[in-house]
Amino acid sequence: MTKEEIKEKIERLRKEINYHNYRYYVLNDPVISDEEYDRLFRELVELEEKFPEFQSSDSPTKRVGHEPQSEFRPFKHKEAMFSLQDARNEDEIKEFDKRIKRLLHLPMDKDIEYMAEPKIDGLSVEIVYEKGVYKRAGTRGDGVTGEDVTLNVKTIKEVPLYLIENSKIPVPERIDVRGEVYMLIEDFKKLNEENLKRGEKTFANPRNAASGSLRQLDPRITAKRKLKFFAWGIGFYEGLKFETQEEILRALKSFGFPVNPNIKKCKNIQEVIEFYEKMKEEREKFPYEIDGIVCKVNSLRLQEELGFTIRAPRWAIAGKFPAKEVTAQIKEVTFQVGRTGTITPVAIFDPTPVGGVIVQRATLHNFDEIKRMDVRVGDHVFLRRAGDVIPEVVKVIKEKRTGNEKPILPPDRCPVCSGDVVKEGAYFKCISIDCPAKLKASIRHFTSKKAMDIEGIGSKLIEQLVDKKMVKSIADIYYLEYKDWMKLERMADKSVRNILEAIEKSKKTTLERFIYALGIPLIGERGAQVLARRFGSLERLKDVKYVELVAIPEIGPEMAESVVRFFRNESNLQTIKRLLDAGITFEEKKIKRGFFTGKTVVFTGALKGFTREKASELVEEQGGRVSNTVSRNTDFVIVGENPGSKYKKALEYKIKILSEEEFIKKLQEGE
């Protein structure tokens, strides 16, 4: 055979083996014997060894065998990978349906079609395919950036290395497939048994086992863990057109992905609720753990119109099941002070197994909840893990009372610093800015990489600074001198000078980093970015009104209230003043009126003269809004090279389209 014929044979063998993997691992319906499969595999191995110039990382022979990695690299999602808002019961699922109809201006008796599926208790990942070939994979992370787990996902035999080609749905130029990595309950139990025999760490539940297995630096360990995969959606894609979520799932199945067989198309929300009840009843019959259902609007056009909040899509919801409950007796109640000063009552029990983990503490939430349940020290209660994660007390078993139970009273003083406390809604809060309980966490957040990025100030140093009373507020970090740092344990000249240099460097920052560093409740990194770009200066933000904030699409009512309350607090203002007096400066970008003021803009395709981030920033500087999705509310779509499906959607909706050159001219009109 010629070299070209050998190359063609190797590629043919790879695709053939990939197809038989699909028949065996996904369909559970093999069409060749194990002996025939082994013969094909051996033939491919021999050819690749004999002709190393034709070896490829996407070959089925390369699923396992890579050397351990030193660390996980960042994985950037081309389109944000959002988590879902939770619904805890039928009423909240119904409210989700009503909210959608209000947003779409539809009558309440109008039926909306949904796709519902079991919510696998696993780890979400995104897998990138280019021209039908597996390229890379990453975890969800914060929705924008996850961890690159390309080599580990590759070991999962249900994940195709090549997309199956068929006449009905062509293989796209690129498609980012999203799904859940999970572990069967049976395999989880076997793994724990093996680990116990070896004296190694056991996992609390299958989800933790799947997550821990996928995040192994050595992919050969991952390969031994028998991980499984279900595809449930897509992110970025080009070269295809879909109208519904149902079509997406059908396409994924045809490409060779396992798709959950229990997915149901529901013609209205009542059918979704019936599906929710059915899955809840059959929960224990599944070979893997499910903790609820996922409900999505089936129409992609409606999905685009509904859009996203900062944290979640408006067109999907996770209907969570009630957690499994056990009974336990409250031995005592302690008080826990959080980073924002919120005092949370915590019930203490004897060690009690709940949902696969041993629990000794459970939140009582707040004193309104204590009053509602009439819970007391000494009570026998039903205990569960909320969302199968956070232990909480559900109900008091009053029939077991003896009369010796004691009421739970709110604290008169902060249990950590003995400072004053105030009642704010259902919660009691410590208002002392010197409180060590929240100060340590506040400094950790303030100095973190995404905030002020002061390298070298770790948890152990923060413990010393606060415990030795060298720091009583986050601002004090900027007033410590060389001699102060030298008093701390394990600090030498070089390390102190590095910290002082990092502190000095941090003084030149951006407004959005500074806002994020302040730790305003409910305002994360994206929220800080929105506030900085919308208001442009700290002085403007200090005086912002609630109505101004809720008018911003990305800012909800609770976030708006949190921002207003934060900047009305005199202690917070004093701390901010001391920070600025220490020399912190940042560019305060003021909103300048221009062509894009008040307009909603969507970008698609590659721009020659700008990064996507820079182009978005220029629009937002004029008071415009940049969206990821095209809807009827979009004013302009800016089209670069090789535009995707957003361009077609813009044509369909008859939205004004601007080229990059026209975009530049419109920007200059506003100058």
DSSP codes of every residue in 40-96 = HHHHHHHHHHH-GGG--TTSGGGSS-PPPPSSPPEEE-SS------EE-SHHHHHHH
DSSP SS3 for 627: strand
Task: Categorize the per-residue pLDDT at 67 as very low, low, confident or very high, splitting at 50, 70 and 90.
Answer: low
Can you give the pLDDT at residue 163?
93
The 10 Å Cβ neighbour count of residue 285 is 7
C-beta separation of 136 from 128 below 8 A? yes
**Alpha helix stretches (DSSP H) within 160-314:** 185-197, 206-214, 219-223, 245-255, 269-282, 300-306
Residue range 333-377, pLDDT digits in tens? 999 988 678 899 999 999 888 766 788 998 888 888 898 889 999
Residue 4: the pLDDT is 86
Bridge partners, residue 293, by sequence: 118, 319
Return the axis-axis angle of helices 206-214 and 185-197, rounded to nearest 10°.
70
Strands 342-354 and 332-337: antiparallel
Residue 638 clears pLDDT 90, i.e. is over it: yes
DSSP-derived letter for residue 594 is -
Average pLDDT over residues 464-474: 92
Average pLDDT over residues 222-248: 93
Active site residues: 119
The residue type found at 487 is K
pLDDT at 488: 92
Look at residue 35 and tell me whether its pLDDT is greater than 90: no
Distance (Å, rounded) from C-alpha 467 to C-alpha 279?
Answer: 51
pLDDT-derived band at 137, boundaries 50, 70, 90? very high
- CA 435 – CA 429 distance, rounded (Å): 11
CA distance 21 to 13: 12
Dihedral sign computed on CA atoms, order 419, 422, 424, 428: positive
**Cα separation values, 143 from 61, 122, 364, 513, Å:** 32, 16, 30, 18
Backbone phi and psi for residue 354, each to the nearest 5 degrees, phi listed first = -135, 120
d(CA 483, CA 491): 11
What is the CA angle 19-25-30, rounded to 5?
Answer: 65
Decide if pLDDT at 242 tops 90: yes
Q: How confident is the model at residue 68 (pLDDT cuts 50, 70, 90)?
A: low
User: What are the φ/ψ torsions at residue 275 (nearest 5 degrees)?
Assistant: -65, -40
Q: Looking at residues 597-601, what average pLDDT do you find?
A: 89
Query: What is the band of 521 on the pLDDT scale with cuts at 50, 70, 90?
Result: confident
Could you read off the pLDDT of 170-217 as tens digits, one per residue? Answer: 899 999 999 999 999 999 989 988 887 777 777 767 888 898 899 888
pLDDT of residue 27: 66
Helix (H, G, I), strand (E, B) or coil at 374: coil
Partners of residue 320 on adjacent β-strands: 292
Strand partners, 313: 308
pLDDT of residue 98: 95
Q: What is the pLDDT of residue 356?
A: 61
Enter the DSSP assignment of 24. Answer: I
**Residues 6 or more apart whose Cβ sits within 8 Å of residue 271:** 114, 116, 264
| Neighbouring C-alpha atoms within 13 Å toward the C-beta of 102 | 7
DSSP bridge pairs for 130: 133, 174
Ranges 195-199, 421-425, 438-442, 477-481, most confident: 477-481
Q: Are 308 and 314 in contact (CB under 8 A)?
A: yes
**What is the enclosing helix (H) or strand (E) of 19?**
helix 3-21
Q: What residues does 586 pair with on adjacent strands?
A: 509
Q: Cα–Cα distance between 362 and 370 in angstroms, integer?
A: 13
Measured in residues, the chain has a length of 671
Residue 206: CB atoms within 10 A of its CB come to: 24
Task: Say if residue 116's pLDDT is above 90.
Answer: yes
Strands 316-320 and 86-87: parallel
**CB neighbours (10 Å) of residue 654?**
8
449 pLDDT higher than 80: yes
Instruction: Give the DSSP letter of residue 515.
Output: H
Structure tokens at 374: 């009439």
How do beta strands 123-130 and 174-182 pair? antiparallel
Residues 45 and 65: beta-carbon distance below 8 Å: no
Paired tokens of 482: 């060389």
Beta bridge partners of 295: 116, 317
Q: How far apart are CA 379 and CA 657, in angstroms?
A: 66
**606 DSSP 8-state letter:** B
Amino acid symbol at 518: L
Per-residue pLDDT band for 513 (boundaries 50, 70, 90) equals very high
pLDDT at residue 175, as a whole number: 96
